[in-house]
Amino acid sequence: MRPVPTPQQEELRAAVRDLCSREVTVERLLVWEGASDASELALLESIAALGWLGLGVPVAAGGSGACLSDVAILVSECARGLVPRSIIGAVRGATALGVIAPKSSVLASLATGDNRLAMAVDEEEARVASSFSTTVEVEGGVPRVRGAKAYVPDAALSELHLVVARDGQGPVLALTEAGGPGVTIRELRTFGGDRQAHVRYDGAPVVERIEGGPAAFGRLQEVRQALALAEMVGGMDAVLDATVAYVQEREQFGQKIALFQAVRHQIADMGIRVTAARHLAWQAITRIDRRALCGHELASALAYTGRAFRDVCVTGHHLHGGAGFVVENRLRFHSERAQSLAIRYACEAPALEEIAGALLD
Amino acid sequence: MDYELSPREQAWREEVREFIGEHVDEALADETRQRGNEGRGPRAQLFLDALRDRGWWGLAWPEEYGGLGKTALEQWIFIDEIESAGAPMLPLTVTSVAPTIMRIGSQEQKRDWLPKIQAGEIEFALGYSEAEAGTDLASLKTRAELDGDEWVVNGAKMWNTMAHHATHNWLAVRTEPDARKHKGISMMIVPMDAPGVSVQPIWVWPGLRTNALFLDNVRVPRSYLIGERGMGFYYAAMALNFERLSIGSIGMARRHFRALVDEVRRRVVDGRPLREDPWVRERLARLQIEIDAAGMLGLETAWALDQGRVPAAESSMAKIYVSELSQRIADVGCEILGLNGQLHADEARALAGGRMQWLYRLSPMLAFGGGTNEVQRDIIGFMGFGLPRK
Ligand SMILES: Cc1cc2nc3c(=O)[nH]c(=O)nc-3n(C[C@H](O)[C@H](O)[C@H](O)COP(=O)(O)OP(=O)(O)OC[C@H]3O[C@@H](n4cnc5c(N)ncnc54)[C@H](O)[C@@H]3O)c2cc1C
């Protein structure tokens, strides 16, 4: 057992931290919240040039061929440093496609950042794949996508969409071009400051069909969830670190607030949650990586980490008082991501259902 | 024992509901939503004017000041109804500053200020907090020195929320630099148009605006110091006391909860009504229990006030419970509504009016503002149960 990063992973973390400290300033975060700008594209290009977009892409497709755990280290550090979610999304897209379709013709362009891949999974009134109504059917000799996907992250700024649809048998995965015929994108204002959109596919031609059916979809979900766990762990670490630092700076009643027992207890409780979540999360990530997931452990890691991240944010805000409440404080960006990640990837209800099923059925 | 409202209280509740029914409409709800759910726009102002015309600004004021002298329980009913309808609450100028002036002001000061407040001609921003003086308010540094017949005020206030609308500031300033810190503060009225006053906006997470206020050799007449010199800390505490019933009110939380329940009733997910999901049912039921419990703490505070007691422990209990429960409602609400719940309030299809994500952003402030919850817990310990202070 070695429940800590390897020296190489530590090096990667240090490099990401260094980049973030230079490039991800609060001024830029405030701009990026509204729209992408040149500095966000420049950051994407720097990250592509460092080979990080293609970190998990197979070598044959122009990537570094690193394992999912290494990509999770990258994502976790990016989340800690508040790298724009669109860039984390680009890493997620390239990695996921690399895992489920290592021979895909578009992988090389994702590794360089020339193209970005949005994942169109959820639907307005459906949470599980068996309820999805988007279909892929051959019309006039060409497979086409029909249906509507909701809350698709980065749909408008990605060149390619990976659509989870259904055919007669079950889930199928298909790539379409975002700018191609039959694709209508309506951008949404969401509170997390990320760029989601509703997308309609009215017979959008499939440019590539991903083989593997339900198994490929299952693997896609695991990779998305693994990287979401990494994002949550990174954000949580940042909130804890910022709060530990703040209570040692802030004085009230002639003393550091860290000296109040009630404050120390809250810091200790945050520490317990973060530590437990970190191990549950990394256990799940590394086992997804080795295809060795057991029973309910992914559900457990997601439910615990999602809950812990939000709780840690609330305590972080409490201990920061007004200072943490101004829009310029980094804390609130993490709190937004905590909620937004939890509702997409770490819903409690299905996790509880799965765990109870593992225990009882 | 009897938990029923008296016929008089019942009739009052009906009267308030009727008024709300007549004056709160979709347009007001829309405006409120567009202003981050709680901000004050033109329609909100019309609503407040209507409240004034009805004589309800003076709800809690003694009859000798033209008020209605309503009991604490009746005030509690009013606050509860207004908040749970999502109507604009009475300004703090009316509910907190005016009653303080009635208690502590000289005859002349009452004559100068109360009629203008009553007529809606002036409105105060509350200038207590400073960047370095939050929970520890008594350490505030903004100072005022007497120069002839005028005070000269210098310093900076933080979180001066209404400053960009207000005509005046209700300002806590240090006038007795040599006295012990709690005894060196006075309350002073500073007109916002006095030379040397400037305001800088500060935006906070739920989308609300507050301000930093700067005072650079601002001169105000000597008579603008309200009450006695050196008593300002206690006056600020008194003014905050008048807010007890609102701070511990469950009305707002109940309103957001109701919006969530309505949304759950309507939604179908994965081909099945959301209200049939056992997890959703359990979460909502648990929140309902907590809302019932929190409501009791507010009621206890109102009742104790009517017995002539200072319900320090009771109101702290209500404040803690409501603030922390609001966080849980937001959290459960966001989770139940899922991806649909993250839409910004101004997206047409935002579920529950975008309230859940907004409450998620607002609720931390309910816990650290209005006297942070750790201090409230201390108060419950020593005021409620006689625990030693040291
Ligand atoms: C949006 C907004 C609007 C506001 N509007 C106004 C306004 O109009 N007028 C005004 O005067 N003020 C206003 N405030 C200020 C508000 O009252 C303060 O934020 C509040 O008093 C807390 O002070 P602080 O933010 O400096 O936090 P701090 O005092 O620094 O407290 C931070 C944390 O430290 C801990 N702590 C502090 N003291 C103790 C202790 N003794 N024991 C244990 N733990 C402790 C607690 O965890 C606390 O939450 C506003 C604030 C906000 C955010």
Do residue A236 and residue A290 come from a single domain?
A: yes
The answer, for A260 touching chain B at a CB cutoff of 8 Å, is: yes
Ligand 1, residue A320: give the atom nearest the CA.
Answer: 32
- Cα distances (angstroms) measured from residue B305 to each of B71, B98, B248: 9, 19, 13
DSSP B205: T
Do residue A267 and residue A355 come from a single domain?
A: yes
Contact B350, B343 (CB under 8 A): yes
Q: Which long-range contacts (CB under 8 A, 24 or more apart) does B371-375 make?
A: B371/B135, B371/B240, B371/B316, B371/B319, B372/A318, B372/A321, B372/B135, B373/A318, B373/B319, B373/B320, B373/B323, B373/B324, B374/A260, B374/A262, B374/A263, B375/B135
Query: Cα–Cα distance between B382 and B305 in angstroms, integer?
Result: 19
Give a yes or no: residue A191 inside a domain. yes
Ligand 1, residue B135: give the atom nearest the CA.
Answer: 29
Task: Indicate if the pLDDT at residue B37 is higher than 60.
Answer: no
- From the list A191, A253, A310, which residue is nearest B136 (CB)? A253
DSSP labels, A120-151: E--BTTB-SGGG---EEEEETTEEEEEEEEEE
User: How much is the pLDDT for A193?
Assistant: 74
pLDDT-flagged residues of chain A (< 70): none
The CATH number assigned to the domain holding A192 equals 2.40.110.10
Yes or no, beta carbons of B205 and A332 under 8 Å apart: yes
For B96-125, letters b (16+ CB in 10 Å) and e give bbbbbbbebbeeebbebbbeebbebebbbb
Total of domains in chain A: 3
Give a yes or no: residue A61 inside a domain. yes
> Per the structure block, which two tokens stand in for A263?
């404050």
- Cα distances (angstroms) measured from residue A76 to each of A9, A69, A80, A224: 11, 10, 6, 13
Q: Note the pLDDT tens digit of each residue in B276-315.
A: 999 999 999 999 999 999 999 999 999 999 999 889 999 9
Do residue A41 and residue A154 come from a single domain?
A: no
Query: For residue A89, which of A148, A143, A160 has the smallest C-alpha distance?
Result: A160
Yes or no, beta carbons of A262 and B339 under 8 Å apart: no
- Cα distances (angstroms) measured from residue B99 to each of A312, B109, B224, B301: 40, 13, 16, 18
* Collapsed DSSP state (helix, strand, coil) of residue B91: coil
Do residue A171 and residue A185 come from a single domain?
A: yes
Do residue A202 and residue A277 come from a single domain?
A: no
Task: Indicate if the pLDDT at residue B189 is higher than 60.
Answer: yes
Query: Cα–Cα distance between B390 and B383 in angstroms, integer?
Result: 13
Do residue A190 and residue A258 come from a single domain?
A: no
Do residue A205 and residue A244 come from a single domain?
A: no
| Prediction pTM value | 0.96
> Per the structure block, which two tokens stand in for B210?
């507050």
Residues of A with Cβ-Cβ distance to B338 under 8 angstroms = 127, 343, 347
The CATH number assigned to the domain holding A307 equals 1.20.140.10
Q: Which residues span the domain enclosing A134? A: 119-211
Query: Which of B:271-330 have CB within 8 Å of A?
Result: 271, 277, 279-280, 327
Residue B276 neighbours by CB distance under 10 Å: 10
Q: Note the pLDDT tens digit of each residue in B253-277.
A: 999 999 999 999 999 988 899 999 9
Task: Indicate if the pLDDT at residue B36 is higher than 60.
Answer: no
User: How much is the pLDDT for A71?
Assistant: 98
Ligand 1, residue B92: give the atom nearest the CA.
Answer: 8
DSSP labels, B292-361: HHHHHHHHHHHHHHHTT---HHHHHHHHHHHHHHHHHHHHHHHHHHGGGGGB-TTSTT-GGGGHHHHHHH
- CA of B30 from ligand 1 middle (Å) equals 31
User: Mean pLDDT over all residues of chain B?
Assistant: 93
Instruction: With residue B31 as reference, give the H or E element that holds it.
Output: helix B26-34
Q: Note the pLDDT tens digit of each residue in A191-200.
A: 887 899 999 9
Identity of the residue numbered A126: A
Give a yes or no: residue A302 inside a domain. yes
Do residue A198 and residue A240 come from a single domain?
A: no
Query: For residue A64, which of A87, A95, A41 has the smallest C-alpha distance?
Result: A95
Query: Cα–Cα distance between A351 and A305 in angstroms, integer?
Result: 12
Q: Residue A313: closest CA among chain B residues belongs to which residue?
A: B364
Q: Where a domain ends, among A115, A146, A170?
A: A115
User: How much is the pLDDT for A11?
Assistant: 98
Query: Cα–Cα distance between B142 and B160 in angstroms, integer?
Result: 13
B33 confidence band (pLDDT: 50, 70, 90): low
Q: Where a domain ends, among A59, A81, A115?
A: A115
Beta strands per DSSP E along chain A? 117-120, 135-139, 142-153, 160-166, 171-177, 183-187, 196-210, 251-252, 255-256
**Residue with tokens 């625990």, as numbered in its chain:** B387
- From the list B132, B202, B270, which residue is nearest A128 (CB)? B270
Q: Residue B374: closest CA among chain A residues belongs to which residue?
A: A262
Query: Cα–Cα distance between B254 and B266 in angstroms, integer?
Result: 18
Query: For residue A162, which of A124, A99, A209, A197 has the smallest C-alpha distance?
Result: A209
* Collapsed DSSP state (helix, strand, coil) of residue A191: coil
Q: What percent of chain A has pLDDT over 90?
A: 91
The answer, for B371 touching chain A at a CB cutoff of 8 Å, is: no
Task: Indicate if the pLDDT at residue B210 is higher than 70.
Answer: yes
Do residue A107 and residue A154 come from a single domain?
A: no
Contact B304, A317 (CB under 8 A): no
Q: Enumerate the β-bridge partners of residue A247.
A: none
Task: Give the residue from B200, B280, B374 with the most A CB atoms within 10 Å of its CB, the best one to mutate.
Answer: B374
* Collapsed DSSP state (helix, strand, coil) of residue A319: helix
User: How much is the pLDDT for B31?
Assistant: 82
- From the list B205, B270, B339, which residue is nearest A150 (CB)? B339
Contact A247, A267 (CB under 8 A): yes
Residues of B with Cβ-Cβ distance to A326 under 8 angstroms = 202-205
Q: Where a domain ends, among A177, A211, A245?
A: A211
CB under 8 Å to A167, separation ≥6 — which residues? A135, A136, A137
Query: Cα–Cα distance between B239 and B127 in angstroms, integer?
Result: 12
Q: Note the pLDDT tens digit of each residue in B310-352.
A: 899 999 999 999 999 999 999 999 999 999 888 887 787 788 7
Yes or no, beta carbons of A122 and B280 under 8 Å apart: no
CB under 8 Å to A45, separation ≥6 — which residues? A113
Could you give phi then psi for residue A285, rounded to 5 degrees? -60, -50
Do residue A352 and residue A232 come from a single domain?
A: yes
Q: Rounded mean pLDDT of B169-192?
A: 97
Do residue A242 and residue A351 come from a single domain?
A: yes
Residue B150 neighbours by CB distance under 10 Å: 16
All domains in chain B, ordered by first residue? 7-90 (1.10.540.10), 124-230 (2.40.110.10), 243-384 (1.20.140.10)
> Per the structure block, which two tokens stand in for B3?
């938990």
* Collapsed DSSP state (helix, strand, coil) of residue B137: helix
Task: Give the residue from A33, A325, A352 with the most B CB atoms within 10 Å of its CB, the best one to mutate.
Answer: A325
Could you give phi then psi for residue A6, rounded to 5 degrees? -75, 165
Query: Cα–Cα distance between A17 and A23 in angstroms, integer?
Result: 10
Task: Indicate if the pLDDT at residue B156 is higher than 60.
Answer: yes
Give a yes or no: residue A269 inside a domain. yes
Do residue A57 and residue A103 come from a single domain?
A: yes
Q: Note the pLDDT tens digit of each residue in B91-109.
A: 999 999 999 999 999 999 9
Ligand 1, residue A322: give the atom nearest the CA.
Answer: 25
**Residue with tokens 């004085």, as numbered in its chain:** A251
Q: Note the pLDDT tens digit of each residue in A60-71.
A: 999 999 999 999
Residue A178 CB burial class (10 angstroms; 0-12, 13-18, ≥19): buried
Give a yes or no: residue A2 inside a domain. no
Give a yes or no: residue A1 inside a domain. no
